[in-house]
Every structure is written in C-alpha cells, then in structure tokens.
Amino acid sequence: MARILTGIQSTGTPHLGNILGAIIPGIELSKQSDNEAFFFIADLHSLTQIKSGEQLRKNTYATAATWLAFGFDTSTNVFYRQSDVAAEVCQLAWFLNCYTPFPMLSNAHSFKDKSKKLSDVNAGLFTYPVLMAADIIGYDADFVPVGKDQQQHLEMTKDIASSFNYIHGETFVLPQGIYDKRVMIVPGTDGQKMSKSYNNFIDIFLSDKALRNQIMKIETDSTPIEEPKNFESCNAFALYALLADEGQIDKMKTNYATPGYGYGHAKQALFDLICEKFKTERVRFNELMENTDEIDRQLAIGAEQAKAAISSVLGKVKNKTGY
Ligand code: ADP
Ligand code: TRP
C-alpha cells in the first residue's frame, strides 16, 4: 500500500481553482484501493502570513469543511490539522534544520515570491520548506500530489532526507512528488490563474446572491449583444466548459454564435451550473461551518493517528542523533 500525503494551507476558504485543481483530484486519488491518504491542513504554515487568530481558525474550519463536503472519507484515511501535531512536527523540523544548508533555503521561491524586501521575511517563512519536509518525511510518505509550484519544496525535502540518511543510515523514506499535468489551471474572473492573491476567485460557498455577483464580475470583451461572440477567448465560457458536460458545452458554443445571446446570459448559465453541480457540497459545507464541533471531532481522530505515525519516525531520529 502506498501512502499519499498532501497539505493545503488555511489561508482562506478554498476557491473553485483549489477545488478543481487540488481537492477533487486528491479525493479521487485517496479512493484508489491501493492508497492510504494522509491529508492535512497546514495551519502552522499559514502563520507565516496570517496573524489574526480568529481569521486563522475560520480558514482552518473552512478548509476542513471543504474536504469533508466533497466527500473525503475520514474513516479509511487520515485527516488532521498540522497544529494538532505541532509538538512532534516542530520538533522534527528542528532536527531537519540542522541538516539543511543555508544556501538551499536562500534559493526558495516560498519567501522570494511572497516578499518584496528581505526585512519583510520572517524566519518562519524562510524555514517554511523545512517544516514542509517534516510534514512529509515525518509520515513516511511515498507520494505527494501537489501543484507544480511546490516542486522546489519537494526537491528540498528529498535533499534534506538524503543528507540525513547519508550521515545516519537509512532513516527516511524518500518521497516522490506527483505533478499531474492533466489537472487544469482554473482561470480567475480576470483570465489569470485563479488565486487568493489576485483576488480573482470564485467562492462557491457564498450565498446565491454573493456568488452570482462574483460571477457577474467575470471580465469579458465589449462585443455588442447583437453580434456573435468568440467562445474561445471568453473567460465565462472557459469556466463553464470546466464544469459542463459535452452536450452543454456544444449548446453553449451555439449560443455564443447566436446574435442576441449576451455575456450576461452566459454568466447566468455558469451561475446556474455551479449551483446545480455543487448543490449538496454547498449545503454540507454550510452545515459543517454551523457545527464546527463535528469538524473538531473528525480532526481529533486524525490527530491521534498522525501523532502515532510521526512519533515513530521521530523516535528513530532521536535514536540516531544520540538523544
Ligand atoms: P492560491 O493561489 O489561491 O493561494 P494555493 O497556492 O494555496 O492557492 O493552492 C492550494 C492548492 O490548489 C494547490 O495544490 C494548487 O496547485 C491548487 N490551485 C490553486 N489555484 C489553482 C488554479 N487556479 N487552478 C488549479 N489548481 C489550483
Ligand atoms: N506548501 C504547500 C502549499 O502551499 C502546503 C503544504 C505544507 C504541503 N506542507 C505540505 C503540501 C506537505 C504537501 C505536503 O500548497
């Protein structure tokens, strides 16, 4: 059985890009019978950016509720909050720090991309890749499905693990990143990659009215309503096509070619499709957000399992380093 592990930061409510690009494919992977999934909420990593406890807690619940609403099965997999194993994972990160060369960290995108000047870089952001390495090798993960942007972190994880293994003998499993090229890049309302940082996201868990407003803000060109429109360069169409079936897509192409069919109609169709497609997930998400005790209950079970796994690896590390 292969152990797949991934973490998702709690920097906001997961948007449509996160859902289609990471959460749904992750859940699919976890359902394959020869896999055991360790999925967690990387809320300690989020502290490098978010300094409001209330915000952090809310984001953590929203991230957990999204995984659960989309059907992640916590009875056959391990689902936990990184901070629930803080004692173990931060301890392991310290050991790994001592095997991580300074120049490796000083080349990391994680802090270079997030700050314009070095004085804005906190030490947590600088050592972010080491905590991530502890997240992975602390659980003997075989495969780590992540976005292409995380490839450098995975390479660093392998380097850190190899350097420890070289000095102390086989200790850590060397993980392999899975960068699924088939996973789509979901465009945002402005046509760039959908991202929290660009404020161009669609939050499917908003109320109908707020969700509709977000969708109506999708940028389109100024082709008049009485002229046919080009679906290929249209953002609203691109998003629609990611969710619709073939018949619906063909019909939408015909609509675009039909004078009198406007972008407002296309956006309304996208709104209707999102509501229909994610009907149960939206209800379930809101139920969970109203009942965070249920989220805590499920995460507490995962925390116990995660703790057992990482404690065993930490024990080996302490043993080998002479503690
Ligand atoms: P954001 O850019 O909004 O901060 P993150 O970097 O936190 O998103 O990404 C969390 C996960 O969601 C990653 O696995 C990432 O690859 C995936 N993801 C983020 N944005 C998109 C997108 N627009 N399309 C597809 N996948 C995405
Ligand atoms: N750095 C990852 C991201 O921003 C989140 C993360 C933290 C992670 N620890 C991890 C992903 C371990 C995979 C494995 O997307």
Per-domain residue ranges for the chain? 2-185+292-321, 208-277
- Cα 130 from chain centroid (whole Å): 18
The residue nearest atom 11 of ligand 2, judged by CA position, is 7
Q: What is the pLDDT of residue 185?
A: 85
- Residue 46 is which amino acid? S
The pLDDT score that the predictor gives to residue 111 is: 87
Set 31, 58, 114, 253: catalytic member: 114
Find out whether 92 and 314 touch, Cβ atoms under 8 Å. Answer: yes
Burial group, residue 207, by CB count within 10 angstroms (0-12, 13-18, 19+) = exposed
* Pocket flag, ligand 2, residue 11 (CB < 6 Å): no
For position 117, what pLDDT does the model report?
A: 86
The ligand that comes nearest to the alpha carbon of residue 137 is 2
CA of 141 to the centre of ligand 2 (A): 13
Give the amino acid at 304: E
Nearest CA among 14, 67, 16 for reference residue 194: 16
Residues pairing with 8 in the sheet: 41
Is the CB–ligand 2 distance for residue 125 below 6 Å? no
Do 88 and 312 form a contact (C-beta atoms < 8 A)?
A: no
Q: Indicate which residue's Cα is closest to atom 18 of ligand 1.
A: 18
Exposed/middle/buried for residue 130 (C-beta within 10 Å: 0-12, 13-18, 19+) = buried
Question: Which of ligand 2's atoms lies nearest the C-alpha of 153?
Answer: 1
User: Among candidates 249, 274, 252, 250, which has minimal Cα distance to 263?
Assistant: 252
pTM of the predicted model as reported, rounded to 2 decimal places: 0.94
Q: Pick the catalytic residue: 31, 58, 196, 253?
A: 196
| For the CA of 183, the nearest ligand | 1
Residue corresponding to tokens 């600088």: 126
CATH 2.60.120.10 correct for 208-277: no
SS3 (DSSP) at 249: helix
| Residue 114: per-residue pLDDT | 77
The Å distance, Cα 9 to ligand 2 centre, comes to 7
User: Does 48 sit in the ligand 2 pocket, CB within 6 Å?
Assistant: no
User: What confidence tens digit (pLDDT) does each residue in 5-22 have?
Assistant: 999 999 999 999 999 989
Place of tokens 């507490």: 300
Considering the segment(s) 2-185+292-321 as one domain, its CATH architecture is 3-Layer(aba) Sandwich (3.40)
> Where does residue 260 fall: left (phi above 0), alpha (psi -120 to 50 degrees), or beta otherwise?
left
Nearest in space to 309 (alpha carbons), one of 135, 157, 110: 135
CA of 303 to the centre of ligand 2 (A): 17
Find out whether the beta carbon of 157 lies less than 6 Å from any atom of ligand 2. Answer: no
User: What is residue 182's predicted lDDT score, i.e. its pLDDT?
Assistant: 64
Residue nearest to atom 9 of ligand 2 (CA): 132
Find the 59 Cα to ligand 2 centroid distance in Å. Answer: 15
Those residues of the chain that have pLDDT short of 50 are none
